Amino acid sequence: MNFIPLSHILIFSLLLFAIGIYGTLVRRNIIGILISIELMINAANINLIAFSKYTSLAPETGQVFALFVIALEATAAAVGLAIVLALYRVRKTILTDEVHLLKW
Amino acid sequence: MEILSFLAKFGIYAVMLAILIFALGVVTLRNLFHCALCLAAALIGTAGIYVALQADYLAAVQILLYVGGVITLVIFAIMLTEHLAGKTVRQNNSQSPLAIVGSLGFIILIGTLIVKTPWPVNPVALKAKASVLELGQALMGTYVFPFEIISIVLIAALIGTVVIAKKDPQ
């Protein structure tokens, strides 16, 4: 079985990461920002798997790290959404530019 | 076999294109609920990429944990803060042109690096296939310490989530 070139996968995940950056920068809604961050982490995971497949002599190394990333990302999403809910209960908004309690 | 391999490559590129389109939907759509569904589609497509890279277990974990867990959480959060997710609220701030310029600059910089670097593709590594058995042995052998740390982090995050999200006693 022959694979597509490594650089194609890298450019694909670069585009995915850039889309995530764009979403993180322009979204007003905190949930939208969290979703965009998930896209970026996903792109990083694709890179880990691709590198471990193409260049590493021990292909399970990159997969183990991708597993750790997925687990940590799940905890991050859970805690982040809990913070969003707590914020919504107190301030009745989850738009980032309306949460300016610390802004003078 | 020629045609089969060509079709496999074409399929991978098609899945990549679909993932990029869904990702664009995630960052541009007005309705946040549609964004979450687009994210689910993009994550399922990523699982397809994992299968193409012979990481079957990762693909299963991706679908179970992301599409089953994280997307459910996100949709819960969207529904609990629902009236903000309506179409009337503007979802993007006014920094869109700057963000596009920044993202394009990032793409050009890293893309040039990717194209110019001679990647040391290892033909031996391409033939090797990591089975679930080797993955489990690596988790229980070389990486047992980070594995245990991850379990502690998961417990801490679970308790922290409950404490943050529960109602104040007053």
Closest alpha carbon within chain A to B162: A82
CA distance A15 to chain B (A): 7
Residue A104's pLDDT is 67
Q: Which residue has the tokens 């990333």?
A: A69
| Packed helices B71-80 and B32-52: angle between N→C axes, nearest 10 degrees | 180
The answer to whether residue A1 is domain-embedded is: no
Two tokens at B98? Answer: 């700057």
Q: Do B27 and A7 touch (CB under 8 A)?
A: no
**What sign for the dihedral angle of Cα B35, B102, A98, A101?**
positive
Q: What is the CATH number of the domain that holds A34?
A: 1.10.287.3510
Q: Are A35 and A80 in contact (CB under 8 A)?
A: no
Is A39 a domain residue? yes
Asked if A2's CB is within 8 angstroms of B134's CB, the reply is no
- The confidence score (pLDDT) of residue A28 equals 87
Q: List all residues 6 or more positions away from A96 whose beta carbon is below 8 Å from its beta carbon.
A: A27, A28, A29, A30, A33, B93
Determine the pLDDT at residue B169: 66
The pLDDT of B2-7, averaged and rounded, is 81
Contact list in B for residue A11 (CB cut-off 8 A) is 111, 114-115
Mind listing the pLDDT tens digit for each residue in B8-41? 888 899 999 999 999 999 998 888 889 999 999 9
Given a contact cutoff of 8 angstroms between Cβ atoms, the answer to whether A13 and A40 are in contact is no
Determine whether the interchain pair A31/B32 forms a contact, defined as Cβ–Cβ distance below 8 Å. yes
Count of structural domains, chain A: 1
Q: Which residue has the tokens 């970026």?
A: A40
Written as six digits, the tokens of A49 are 């798997």
Global pTM reads: 0.90
Structural tokens at position A94: 């989850």
